[in-house]
Amino acid sequence: MPFLTLKISGADTRGKKVIETIKIFNYMKVISTKVHGVLDYAVSLLLIASPWLVGYYRGGTETWVAIIIGLASIAYSLITDYELGATKALSMSLHLSLDFFGGLFLMLSPWLLGFYNHIFEPHLLLGLFMLTVVAFSKSKVKRQVKVQRTGAIRHAHS
């Protein structure tokens, strides 16, 4: 799903009206679903461990926001229809939407939930990273086609 679609109309050499559609952000989708999956699990584990790694643990909202978003991300990554999903119950498009809203909430949570005076940097930076990954991730899984070689030649019958 592109973020921006540009439509240009004009005429071809014979005078026929032509409308060209350019999907701007489709060209910027450089993160494969497999790499996205690796990032999902890595960032989720980082989120869960961040209260202790960064040193902001005090058992409050600032801690639980990171832990819950990390655990939720692992849970829906496990059921996403991509290379690193254990089952294929959740489409990649829906997965990216969950990542987007999770990243946005994580990024804004220090101000929404009132702990910005204690800590905000990890939430802001990891949330921004999640949004960036969503913006550059492909939404279609590249499927491998298995070719079975047999000695026989099959003819198509119409």
Q: What pLDDT, on the 0 to 100 scale, is given for residue 143?
A: 76
Q: What is the DSSP string of the chain?
A: --S-EEEEEEE-TTS-EEEEEEEGGGGG--B-HHHHHHHHHHHHHHHHHHIIIII--SSSHHHHHHHHHHHHHHHHHHTBSSTT-SS--B-HHHHHHHHHHHHHHHHHHHHHTT-TTT--HHHHHHHHHHHHHHHHB-SS--PPPP----SSPP----
More confident: 145 or 13: 13
- Measured CA to CA in angstroms, residue 11 lies from 18, 45, 104 at distances of 5, 54, 42
- What are the tens digits of pLDDT across the range 113-156? 999 999 999 999 999 999 999 999 999 998 766 666 665 555 55
Averaged over 14-38, what is the pLDDT? 78
Buried b vs exposed e over 73-110: b needs ≥16 C-beta within 10 Å? bbebbeebbbbbbeeeebebeebbebbeebbebbbebb
- What are the tens digits of pLDDT across the range 77-87? 999 999 999 99
In whole angstroms, what is the distance from residue 104 CA to residue 101 CA? 5
- Global pTM value: 0.76
